[in-house]
Structure 1
Amino acid sequence: MNLLKLLGWEVERLTKPYLILITLLVVTQFAWLGVFLWSETNMYEEMRRAGTPDYTLTFGNYLGGTPFILSIGVAVTAMVFFSFWIWYRDFQGRGTFMMRLLLMPQQRMLVFGAKLVTMMLMILGLFSVQWIALKLQYIAFSSWLDSQMIPMSGSFEQAIGYDRAFSVMFPASLFNFFVHQVLIAIAVLFIFAFVLIERSLWQRTVLAPFLALLMIGVVVVVPMIGFFIIENYLFMEETLAVFTLILVIWFIGVVWIGHRQLTKKLSV
């Protein structure tokens, strides 16, 4: 069994729920766009009749709406859930195929790698779909305001840049995008490590989730405590170097935890 076959298998298993998530995300956002434009148009018409049409809209007003923010929150929550589910569904169902793979120690890290790549592909795919949806929403937004002669200010890039969530998803530079993807990958690896620790302990204690959370918490918190202690004594370049070192420690640490749990501790 090679990595590409495992990757294809993992992607196939998650395709249906992933497409459902994408569909719900896009439909919700366009539905909110319609409601937003209808509401703002009515408000502008009332102000125009009252003789006070001094009213300017930006695309950021639409992005700041509660339904839109909730749609992004649901998408992020779904990615976190998928990061857990991609492991738990194998263990909960005691699938024959997964059991055969886990009985062969030399194949276990291939399973780990396939699941990690699958999650990163899903996250990048979500970012891509969201970017296309945002572009289409901006076109519809600006076209409707022009047709109704409602003043509009600001550009698409400005609206995206002012929003913190989108500045993480779509940073201004390729380097920042790479850094953000590394941080996301480390977050996914922490979830993987938690699941593997919990699965290796669950047959021995009912406290497995709490112990797993404690172990992962130590890996996260200890380097950060050290960073905050010495942060005030560092220059900007030194701060960046130390933070980069912490990222490397986290990455190596969670991969080592995953390898150890899969090859040494996890029983099937």
Structure 2
Amino acid sequence: MNLLKLLGWEVERATKPYLILITLLVVAQFAWLGFFLWSETNMYEEIRRTGTPDYVLTFANYLGGTPFILSIGVAVAAMVFFSFWIWYRDFQGRGTFMMRLLLMPQKRMIVFGAKLVTMMLMILGLFSVQWIALKLQYIAFSSWLDSQMIPVGGSFEQAIRFDGALSPMYPASFVNFLIHQVLIVLVILFIFAFVLIERSLWQRTLWSPIIAILMLGALIAVPVTAFFFLESRLFMDEMMVVVGLGLMGWMSVTVWLSRLYLTKKLSV
């Protein structure tokens, strides 16, 4: 069984819940856009009847609404949940294909790679769909307000840049985008490592989740403590090198831990 076949299988299994998530996300955001435009138009007309409105609407006003922020939060939570579920679902039945595949230790890291690539494809796909949806929402936003002769301020790029939820997802430069993707991979690797450590220990102790959390907590705490100790003793360029080495070290250790528990400790 090669990586591409496993990747295709994982993507096929994820397609239905993934499409449901995207559909709910887009529908919820456009529903909020419709309500926002209706509410602001009525308010603006009321103010215009009694005087001259002294404010200008921007796309950032829409993005800053609680429903939009919640929709982004739900999408992020869904990706975190799926990072757990993509592993835990394979331990629910003893007769599944994945359980038979896990009986072959030499193939287990291919399973690991397929799940990691699947998660990144889903996250990048979600970013792409959200970007297209945002562009369409901005077109609808500006077109409607123009038709109602309501002044619109700012640009699409400015609204994205100053939004606390979207600016990390869509940074201004390609280099920053790559850095954010590395951080996302690191988060997924920590989740994968937690699941594999917990699943390796659960048959021997009921405290397996706590042990896994403590192990990974120590892995995070030691470099962070060293970073704060070195922060005041290094120049900016040196600090960037230390941060880069720290991220590479975290990724290497989490992959090593995952490999250790997946190929040596995990019994099926």
Identity of aligned residues (%): 77
1:164 shift after superposition: 2.2
AA aligned to 1:187 is V
Q: Which region of structure 1 is more displaced relative to structure 2, 197-206 or 215-224?
A: 215-224
1:95 shift after superposition: 4.3
Pairs within 5 Å for 1:196-207: 196-207=196-207
TM-score by length of structure 1 reads: 0.99
Match of 2:208 in 1: 208
Tell whether the 8 Å contact from 1:11 to 1:118 is kept in structure 2 after alignment. Answer: yes
Tell whether the 8 Å contact from 2:90 to 2:96 is kept in structure 1 after alignment. Answer: no
- Distance change (3 Å), C-alpha of 1:95 and 1:72: farther
Pairs within 5 Å for 1:129-168: 129-168=129-168
Match of 1:43 in 2: 43
Q: How far apart are the structure 1 equivalents of 2:126 and 2:243?
A: 27
Q: 3-state DSSP class of the match of 1:145? A: helix
Match of 1:220 in 2: 220
Q: 3-state DSSP class of the match of 2:172? A: coil
* Corresponding pairs, count: 268
Q: How far apart are the structure 1 equivalents of 2:144 and 2:20?
A: 29
Tell whether the 8 Å contact from 1:44 to 1:55 is kept in structure 2 after alignment. Answer: no
TM-score by length of structure 2 reads: 0.99
Q: How far apart are the structure 2 equivalents of 1:128 and 1:94?
A: 37
Match of 1:126 in 2: 126
Q: 3-state DSSP class of the match of 1:93? A: coil
Q: How far apart are the structure 2 equivalents of 1:96 and 1:162?
A: 47
Match of 1:178 in 2: 178
Pairs within 5 Å for 1:184-199: 184-199=184-199
Match of 1:85 in 2: 85
Tell whether the 8 Å contact from 2:69 to 2:165 is kept in structure 1 after alignment. Answer: no
1:36 shift after superposition: 0.2
Give the structure with the higher percent helix. Answer: 1
Q: How far apart are the structure 2 equivalents of 1:96 and 1:245?
A: 40
Structure 2: gaps of 5 or more residues:
none
- Structure 1 segments, 4+ long, off by >4 Å, are none
Match of 2:26 in 1: 26
- Distance change (3 Å), C-alpha of 1:45 and 1:134: same
Q: How far apart are the structure 1 equivalents of 2:126 and 2:96?
A: 31
Q: How far apart are the structure 1 equivalents of 2:34 and 2:94?
A: 46
Tell whether the 8 Å contact from 1:7 to 1:114 is kept in structure 2 after alignment. Answer: yes
AA aligned to 2:164 is R
Structure 1: gaps of 5 or more residues:
none
Tell whether the 8 Å contact from 2:57 to 2:152 is kept in structure 1 after alignment. Answer: yes
1:96 shift after superposition: 2.2
